[in-house]
């Protein structure tokens, strides 16, 4: 999946308080891994992130191999908006 870096950051900033912890808990991964996913870190817990950044507008285009974290983040945002 392709997304701009700015859109990825907008998703992160739209998450309600405690969402990083919730995502980490539901996926059984470290919270820092979730933070790194949205912060364009090149490594997550010592392993390369499955993404590639192509320079361009809005911080460039990020190609994500695995969208599990992003999908869950969007679900949490939708829940927040509908409550």
Q: What residue ranges do the domains of the chain occupy?
A: 2-82
The neighbour count for residue 21, using CB atoms within 10 Å, is 11
When the pLDDT of each residue in the chain is averaged and rounded to a whole number, the result is 84
Helix (H), strand (E) at residue 78: helix 68-82
Question: Rounded CA gap, 15 and 43, in Å?
Answer: 22
Residues in Cβ contact with 14 at an 8 Å cutoff, skipping those fewer than 6 apart: 77
Q: Encoding tokens for residue 52?
A: 């590639």
Q: Is the pTM of this model over 0.85?
A: no
What is the rounded average pLDDT of the residues 4-17?
94
């Amino acid at each position: 999946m392709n997304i701009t870096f700015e859109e990825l950051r907008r998703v992160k900033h739209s998450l309600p308080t405690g969402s990083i912890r919730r995502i980490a808990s539901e996926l059984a991964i470290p919270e820092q891994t979730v933070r790194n996913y949205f912060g364009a870190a090149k490594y997550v817990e010592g392993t390369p992130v499955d993404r590639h950044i192509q320079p361009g507008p809005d911080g460039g285009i990020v190609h994500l191999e695995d969208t599990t974290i992003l999908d869950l983040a969007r679900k949490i945002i939708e829940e927040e908006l509908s409550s």
